[in-house]
Amino acid sequence: MSKIKLSPDEADIRYSNWLSTLIDLCKPTNLYLFAGRGTAKSTDILAKRIIDIVYDMPHAPLAFVSNTYMNLIGNYLPEIITAWESRMNFYEGTHFVVGEKPPDWFEKPYSRMINYKYSLSFFNGCKILLKSLDRPSINAGISVVHQIGDEVKYLKEDKIKKFFPTLRGDAMLYQKSHYFMGQTFTGDMADPSLGEDDWMLRMKPNMDKELIVKILQCAFVVNDINLELYQAEQKGSSKVEIELIKKKKCRWEERLRKIRQDSTFFYIVSSFVNADVLKLKYFENLLNTLTFDEFKLVVLSIPKKLEAGAMFYGNLSDRHFYQDGYNYDFYDRLGFRDNINQISEGLKYIQHDRPLEAGFDAGNMMSLVIGQEQGATYRVLKDLFVLTPEWIRELADKFVIFFKAHKYKLLELYYDRAANQYRKAGKDFATQLKNAIEKDTKGNLTGWRVKLMSIGQANIFHSEEYDLMNVLMGEKNSKLPKLQIDQYECKELKCSLELAPLDKNAKGQLIKVKKSEKLNLQRLPLESTNMSDAFKYLLCRPKYLNVVKARRPGYGSSSGISTR
C-alpha cells in the first residue's frame, strides 16, 4: 500500500472494526458469516452490504428471507432500517419505501411489481422481496438475483434448500455485477442441542482462500488510486494528470470486478473483533454469567459438540412441532408500519369458540403453557412467562392481552399440587392467578372465568410423567392424542423439553434433572426445565395418566419422589 494520507479536515472519520473493513474491501459474491454476540453483524456488516448491492444492481429483484414473516417484519428489518437511517444517511421516503407503492420519481424495476406489501422499493428501481420459510405460498414463482438472510441458525436446512432455486435471473442485465447470483447470510453460531441448524458450516469448502487474498490485494490498489485521485483534485492538478489517474482507476476497477466474480467468503469470528467498542467488562460479565461451553459458543463462535446423554423426553422429535401456526390473513390486513402486536387472532389453529387449557408453574420464573384438545390432536398454542420482580399480576396481564379476542373466555388451569396450599385463605398461587386473570388491577371484570382443575390432585411423580410423555410422544397408543406444539410461539417450551436431562437418583430411579432452575434469572426461559414443568401440569391429568397405568420397574415410585 502507498503512504497517501488524508488530513482530519479532508476525512469523514468513522469507526469500523477490521472484519467490517475486510468485507468492505473484499465484496465477495457470496458471504457466509458466523460472528459472536455483539459484533454488529446486522446493523453494520449486513446493513452496509445491502446498500452496496442495491447500488451495484439497479432495477434488480433481491430477496430477504427469514424463518417466519413475523420475525422478519418485527425484528430483523426494523433493526436494519434503523441502522440505515441513524448511521448511513440512507432514509425512508428518499432512498427506499417499505410495503407500499414507491413515489413516481423512483425508477422502475425491470420486473413488474403488482403487490408492494411484501417488499422494499429503492430509488434506483431495485427491490427486495420479503420472504419467510413459514409462508411458502409467497415464495412461489419468484426469481431473484441475490438472496439475503440473518440469524441463519433459525433457517432449517430442509426448508432453505427449497428456497435456494429462486436464485436465478437475466445474466444479460446483471452479469457485470459481482453480486449477481450471490448469497449473503449472517448469524451467530448455532447450537444443535437447542434445535438450531448449523447448515452454513457446510459452505466453508466453497471458499478459495487464495482468490480472497488476490481480491484484497487488488482492492488495496483501487483504494490507493481513489485517494490519489481525491488529492489530485483537491490540489487543482492539471486535467491531463487527473485524466491519467481516472484511466488507471478504470483499469484497476475492471480487474477488481472480474476477480470478485463468483467469489465466496466464509468466516467464523469471535465477539473480540469488536472489543474496542464492547470493552473488557462486557466479556467479563458474559464469562461470569455463562458456562464456559456457552461462552465458547456465543462469544468465541466455537461450534458446540453434542454430548451423549439421555433426554427425559426421549421420544420428542421434529414431528411434534408445527411451523405454519400464524394466521397471515389477519396480519396481512395490517401495514408494515402499523404497531403489530402478536395476539391470539394471529394464531392459525386456535379454536376461539372453545375453552382454553393451561399448565402453570410458579417460582422466580412464572410459566404458563396454553393449549386445546382438538379431537385426536392436542395442540399447544402459546407459552407465556415472567421473571421476578414481575409476578402473577404481570403474567395474568400478558394472558388477558394476548387472548383478548378469544370468544369462549373459560380457562381450565392445571398446576402443581403445592400451589393448593393456603387455598382456603386465597393465598395460594393458583387462586391468585385465577383472580388476576378474572379481574384487572382496578377490580374490573375481564370477562374470563378460570376453573381450577388440580384441587385435591396428588403429586405427579417422575415415573408418571416419564411414562406418559414417552408413550404420548411415541404415538403408539390411540387412546392418547397426537401432540402438536407451535414451534415459534412456544420457543421457550421447545428449548425446555429438548434440554431436560434424564438421570438416576441414589435409589436407581430415573428422574428429570432440575439443576438448570438455579441458573441466572435471565437464562431461565431458554435453558431451564421450568417451562417443561408447566407443560407437565397441563398434560399429566388423570384422563391421560390413567391410559398409562402400568409402571415399568426402575422408573421411580410413589415413595415421596415428586417432580416439584
Q: Is 130 helix (H, G, I), strand (E, B) or coil?
A: strand
Q: pTM for the full model?
A: 0.74
Side-chain-facing half-sphere of 45: CA atoms under 13 Å: 32
Side-chain-facing half-sphere of 462: CA atoms under 13 Å: 24
Query: Which strand (E) or helix (H) includes residue 321?
Result: strand 321-322
Q: pLDDT digit string (tens) for 346-391?
A: 999 999 999 999 999 998 999 999 999 999 999 999 999 999 999 9
The arithmetic mean of pLDDT across residues 254-283, rounded, is 88
Q: Given 3-state DSSP classes, what are the helix, strand and coil percentages for the chain, each rounded to the nearest 5?
A: 40, 20, 40
Query: Where would I find the beta strands (DSSP E) of 244-320?
Result: 264-269
Tell me the pLDDT band of 523, cut-offs 50, 70 and 90: confident
Contact 78, 120 (CB under 8 A): no
- Residue in the structure block whose three cell numbers are 382443575: 453
Beta bridge partners of 8: none
d(CA 492, CA 513): 17
* Other CB atoms within 10 A of residue 470 CB: 18
In the predicted structure, residue 306 carries a pLDDT above the cut 50: no
Q: What is the pLDDT of residue 554?
A: 41
Contact 357, 543 (CB under 8 A): no
Q: What is the pLDDT of residue 564?
A: 41
Q: pLDDT digit string (tens) for 454-508?
A: 887 778 888 889 889 989 999 988 899 999 999 999 999 998 998 888 887 777 7
**Grid cell in block for residue 238:** 492539471
